[in-house]
Amino acid sequence: MSNLLDIYQRLLAHYGNRNWWPADTPFEVIIGAILTQNTNWNNVEKAIVNLRRVNALTNDAILKLDQEALEQLIRPSGFFRQKAERLQLFCRYLQKHHQGNLDHLFDQELNRVRDELLRLKGIGPETADSILLYAGQHLSFVVDAYTYRLFGRLGILSGKEKYGFVRDFFMSQLPDDIQLYNEYHALIVIHCKDFCRKKPLCQNCPCADICPEKQPN
């Protein structure tokens, strides 16, 4: 069985650096992480363009919007009422507990920040770890459905493991390298969109020779 670092090197050699997350500021990363729940990134980009058009990509600006106005701006991301509520809940929390300052939030120990995020309505483990890694530059591996799919097919996961187990497994097997965590998650996503789809395209897949579930051409 190939180890996690070997698989990372295969993906990196095939795709190159992904330079994910596409955002101008850490706060924009957080907005994207909340909006991308249950939708694709193209829809999130449309919502972020709307927010940028009205200069609403800061904590203060989000709080100054009434919820209905925010809902209309982020409507392309889907579940816009729910997501508008979650965005404003996060912003109110940041304002109340950290003076609206992300550095104040992130300048804490990893587990403390993570616990804070997970206590907020609508922020689950995947969203919290995306915020920690991409916005806060904390060493926290992001696990998503693509992770289960790819590593299940490679025989490394069964698919029944809890999120925390998978996150801990990756973090115990990989070097403590924020850039590697960043690239690895992005590489898993692009690989599962290009090759390791629900109906896999195994021809020319960079992991085909080590995959027990490789399909015939």
Neighbours of 179 (CB within 10 A): 9
Instruction: Please report, for residues 27, 75, 79, 100, the alpha-carbon distance to residue 38 in angstroms, rounded to integers and kept in the order given.
Output: 20, 13, 8, 27
Assess if residue 217 is contained within a domain. Answer: no
Same domain, 173 and 117: no
3-state secondary structure labels for all residues of the chain: CCCHHHHHHHHHHHHCCCCCCCCCCHHHHHHHHHHCCCCCHHHHHHHHHHHHHCCCCCHHHHHHCCHHHHHHHCHHHCCHHHHHHHHHHHHHHHHHHHCCCHHHHHCCCHHHHHHHHHCCCCCCHHHHHHHHHHHCCCCCCCCCHHHHHHHHHCCCCCCCCCHHHHHHHHHHHCCCCHHHHHHHHHHHHHHHHHCCCCCCCCCCCCCHHHCCCCCCC
Domain boundary among 117, 135, 153: 135
Same domain, 171 and 128: no
Assess if residue 215 is contained within a domain. Answer: no
Query: For every one of its 217 residues, what pLDDT tens digit does the chain have, with 9 covering 90 and above?
Result: 469 999 999 999 999 999 899 899 999 999 999 999 999 999 999 999 999 999 999 999 999 999 999 999 999 999 999 999 999 999 999 999 999 999 999 999 999 999 999 999 999 999 999 999 999 999 999 999 999 999 999 999 999 999 999 999 999 999 999 999 999 999 999 999 999 999 999 999 999 999 999 887 6
Assess if residue 216 is contained within a domain. Answer: no
> Which residue range forms the structural domain that includes residue 93?
26-135
Q: How many domains does the chain have?
A: 2
Assess if residue 69 is contained within a domain. Answer: yes
CATH number, domain of 184, equals: 1.10.1670.10
pTM above 0.85, yes or no: yes
Q: Which two tokens stand for residue 171?
A: 């973090």
- 193 burial class (0-12, 13-18, 19+ CB within 10 angstroms)? exposed
pLDDT score recorded for residue 2 = 62
Domain boundary among 101, 135, 169: 135
Same domain, 156 and 177: yes
Same domain, 68 and 122: yes
CATH number, domain of 85, equals: 1.10.340.30
Domain boundary among 108, 135, 162: 135
Assess if residue 122 is contained within a domain. Answer: yes
